[in-house]
Amino acid sequence: MTEVYTILREFPIFGYAKNTPESLDEPTINAQFVGVASAIAFDANNQPKLTRQHERQLKAIEHAIREQFEDELMDLGGDNLQANLTIIGDLLAAFKHRLESDLLIQDQLDLESLTISGEWLTYWQADAPLPRAKAFQQDVLPNDF
């Protein structure tokens, strides 16, 4: 029987920003691939990884998904919970579809799971009276010192 290997990859939704504060847990899609030796490579520590060709394809998919959803992600975080969840669901579905159509190889490289991690802003109500009062207090706070 052929040995099957596992490869874990992260897809930061907003890219690999170097200026991101460490306390911010950016939204990420985590992909777990499984594959056989003919479809994967091994690093210097003999750990499985995607081949260079597959790595380039995955980067192209990530870039295309970021571009496709750029406007929607910029609007994410209003007070319409259903719309925000729809954007996140559409992004995940598009990413999975692109992986299936452009990267995976039948009986050689497959997608085992997709999970999400990080802070996905699903609801933000800034216009209600109490959130506005809080924002006002934060704006005038530095003047008190």
**Domain extents in the chain:** 4-144
Over residues 27-31, the mean pLDDT reads 94
Instruction: Tell me which of 115 and 37 has the higher pLDDT.
Output: 115
Which of 4, 2, 61 lies closest to 31, judged by CA?
Answer: 61
Query: Are 2 and 36 a contacting pair, CB within 8 Å?
Result: yes
Put simply, whether the predicted model's pTM sits higher than 0.95 gets the answer no
Burial class (CB in 10 A: 0-12, 13-18, 19+), 109: buried
Residue 22 has what pLDDT?
A: 58
**pLDDT 10s digits, 70-122:** 999 888 878 889 999 999 999 999 999 999 999 999 999 999 999 999 888 88
